[in-house]
Amino acid sequence: MAATGSKNQKSDEEPDLRDRIVSAVIIGIIRSLTLLPYRTRVPVGGWVISRLVAPVIGYRGRIRDNMHFIFPDMPEEEVAQMTRDVPDQIGRTLCELFSPKKLVETARNTPITGDGLAAIDAAREAGRPVILVSGHIGNYDIVRSKLIQRGLQVGGLYRSMNYKGFNDFYVSRISQVGTPLFLRGRRGMGEMVRFLKAGNAIALLIDQHMQAGAPLTFFGHRAYTALSAAELALRYDALLVPCYGIRQPDGLSFEMIVEPPIPHTTPEEMTQALNDSLEAQVRANMSQWLWVHRRWKSS
């Protein structure tokens, strides 16, 4: 899954030289961690990113800034805890994404809750397109893997990394969870739309800042959000379904939550409903969202 947005909708997450260096460091760490058994690898990966990497690359500062902006009354000890817990979640998720066989196995054992699964199953039987929407919370590829295992054809949109070594490594791993994967850009978007029109499903993330997005709200503040998912749902009569892979207290297992489809109204109303859905999940699982995002940029 990847952030929605067309070719001219630039995300705040565009990689620069610093990001390439960080990517090289992270890929080295992950390759080393693969030497460990999986149930050890995931928590150790979380500890390494939280305690060693995050302080160096500025993650703690970004998290602290977002906490102060969204929750100005949050006690400092809770803010400090978030600066440790969020990178731990990032490290665990990276280890899982780069351990695709184990991720698929984990998804197989993941229970599904929520009221939206029957609608997805009915759409699959009717050949109706489905757009699965999530955010950078928990592990979003649990959703893609679980629904593929249930017989749904699910395509994912991804953004190419500037650091080729990391990109090749990343794509080779997520491809093992399921294909097709579509590279963000004009060609990839065209391929994805054809796949969707054929009655399949696509999986998208909507929680990155998009310069050309609509000025909607997230946690009570203006957050520019791509309308692409809702626009595609309206254009091709697709179900628009919020889905989440929420990490459980043991740190290794998940619950997959499938909410009811968002009613078709306007792109703005539908996308705001998606933002509200994600916000509710984040409030319930605060440390599991990627608070390192610069989500609330003014333009």
Tell me which DSSP letter residue 287 carries: G
Predicted model pTM: 0.89
169-187: burial string, b at 16+ Cβ within 10 Å, e else: bbeebbeebbebbbbbeee
Bridge partners, residue 216, by sequence: 223
Contact present, 141 and 1 (Cβ < 8 Å): yes
Domain definitions of the chain by residue range: 2-288
Residue 9, pLDDT score: 45
Whole-number Å distance between alpha carbons of 276 and 293: 17
Tokens 């699982």 label which residue?
Answer: 285
The 10s digit of each residue's pLDDT in 77-94 is: 999 999 999 999 999 999
**Is the bond leading into 15 cis (omega within 30 degrees of zero)?**
no
3 state SS of 10 = coil
User: Taking residues 98-104, what's their average pLDDT?
Assistant: 94
CA 89 to centroid of chain Cα atoms = 13
Q: Give the pLDDT score at 115.
A: 95
Q: Can you give the pLDDT at residue 75? A: 98
pLDDT band at 4 (very low <50, low <70, confident <90, very high): low
Q: What is the pLDDT of residue 18?
A: 65
Q: Tell me the average pLDDT across 129-146.
A: 97
User: What SS3 class is residue 181?
Assistant: strand
Which three-class secondary structure state does DSSP give residue 85?
Answer: helix
Interhelix angle 100-108/76-97, rounded to 10 degrees, is 110
Report d(CA 205, CA 268) in Å as an integer: 16
